[in-house]
Structure 1
Amino acid sequence: MVLISACMEIKLLILLLIAAFSAMAGGALGRWERIHPNWMRSEVRHGVIAFGGGALLAAVSLVLVPKGMALQPAWASLLSFGGGAFAFLMCDRYFTNRGTPLSQLLAMLLDFVPEAIVVGAVISRNYGEALFLTLIIAAQNIPEAFNAYREITHRGGGKGMAQHALLVISLAALSGVGWGFLGYFVFHPDHVLLGSIMTFCAGGIVYLVFRDVAPQAQLERAWYPSMGAVVGFMVGMAGHAFVG
């Protein structure tokens, strides 16, 4: 029994590290784009931003909200969703007033944290679901971390923050390992608090997508960004259909 538990924990660690390293790869891609600014056309850069926005909306509409609402009463779902939006409105205002734009990084964490908890919560019951959810997280983390790196370094994040942007993103991504094991040891897949966490984060994501991600994706007389959002959402649809 102990051996089975240890093997499951090792499997969980591997899945969580895959998800974390995907975010690091996205941040590294942003760093490469900063060093070689002409390697990617403007339309494609905006398309990557839009892809991240589409992936975030897919996480909200296909995973966080439906699963979260299934685990709690409707009034609690609405309260936690609205509370998440308000909480991250206050965070966004705080960081903006301090000249430290972190909305893209917050959006990545709002997506990553609850899904990492869910991976930990479901792995002992359904390893296949945990594996595929990890792959969806990895697909989302790459463009989201890329966008977060660009925001920190291009939008006045402060000299110290800009110099250590990749380290900040890497540490944020590695925190997902801790959240995943929290889900494994603390949360049952049907835990009502897990549902509240999911809808709380969903509210924050919706606020941040329409506050910051979508406006950055807009580009005059170009269709790439819009299609990037569509493709990002389709990735989430494919994952939802497979798991379902």
Structure 2
Amino acid sequence: MLLKLILFSGFAGITVFVGGLLANMFDHHVKDSPVKYEITHTLMSFGAGIILSALALVLVPKGMETLNVWGVMGSFLVGAILFMLIDRRLAKSGGQQATLLAMMMDFVPESIALGAVFAIEPQMAALLAVFIGLQNLPESFNSFRDLVQSGFSVKKTLSIFFGLSFFGIISALIGHYLLSSYPDLTAHLMIFASGGILYLLIQDLIPESKLDNHYLTSLGACLGFLVGIIGEMLI
């Protein structure tokens, strides 16, 4: 049982590192061109769509099932305000870590949820692991490029992503052994993450993914959200 949980959450997490590797290959082996620029921004919007689907279809609905209206309002506003303050601090330092923050904000709570439901519904946990893994690929692809543009070396960025890959296992174990008996706390975490994610999406990710006189990027966001819908229906 424990081995299965580690394997499921490990798969969900390793795609963070795989996405970084793919981004590094794309940057170094595909020549700069308008097409490359459009592909990059389309992937950014695709990732934003997937993150939005995680918020709208998983995090908020699961939190609303457990919390009352005041609990939802409080946790959501705390998440939004806290990440506004973090984003302002990053902007002053010239950082571009918004995509990474958004990725971790949905990756960690969903991995905790994966661990919490594993003992009850193993089949659902397996599908959730696949869904989280698919989310992480475009999100980590975009995060890698943002960190490199912020001044991080490729080696340092890949090392960070390799370490973050294990957050899925750690979060799933926490959810399984510590939080499965505290559904209220898990729900507050999901709603808190939702507030932070929505702020980062509107403030940073969606505006950065837009290109003037190009329409494929907006379609990419729709496709990303559709992936989330399909994943939620399968789960």
* TM-score (normalised: structure 1): 0.91
Matches for 1:188-207 after TM superposition, within 5 Å: 188=180, 191-207=183-199
Alpha-carbon contact 1:25-1:142 (below 8 Å) kept: yes
Matches for 1:1-244 after TM superposition, within 5 Å: 8-38=1-31, 41-154=36-149, 157-159=150-152, 163-188=155-180, 191-243=183-235
1:222 aligns to what SS in structure 2?
Answer: coil
1: CA distance, partners of 2:181 / 2:23: 35
Structure 2 counterpart of 1:158, one-letter code: G
Structure 2 counterpart of 1:38, one-letter code: K
2:120 aligns to what SS in structure 1?
Answer: coil
Structure 2 counterpart of 1:207, one-letter code: Y
Gaps of 5+ in 2: none
Alpha-carbon contact 1:122-1:189 (below 8 Å) kept: no
1: CA distance, partners of 2:38 / 2:80: 30
**1:165: Cα distance to partner?**
1.1
Q: Which runs of 4+ in 1 moved over 3 A?
A: none
Q: 182-191 or 204-213, which moves further after superposition?
A: 182-191
* TM-score (normalised: structure 2): 0.94
2: CA distance, partners of 1:159 / 1:151: 9
Deviations 1:174-200 (A, max 9, x none): 122111100010122771010000000
2: CA distance, partners of 1:242 / 1:137: 13
2:204 aligns to what SS in structure 1?
Answer: helix
Q: Percent same amino acid at aligned positions?
A: 33
With over 3 angstroms needed to count, the CA separation of the structure-2 counterparts of 1:211 and 1:173, relative to structure 1, is farther
Alpha-carbon contact 1:46-1:217 (below 8 Å) kept: yes
Alpha-carbon contact 1:76-1:196 (below 8 Å) kept: yes
With over 3 angstroms needed to count, the CA separation of the structure-2 counterparts of 1:108 and 1:189, relative to structure 1, is farther
Q: Supply the RMSD in Å over aligned alpha carbons.
A: 1.5
Q: State the partner residue of 1:4.
A: none
Gaps of 5+ in 1: 1-7
**1:163: Cα distance to partner?**
4.5
Structure 2 counterpart of 1:225, one-letter code: T
2: CA distance, partners of 1:158 / 1:231: 31
**1:127: Cα distance to partner?**
0.7
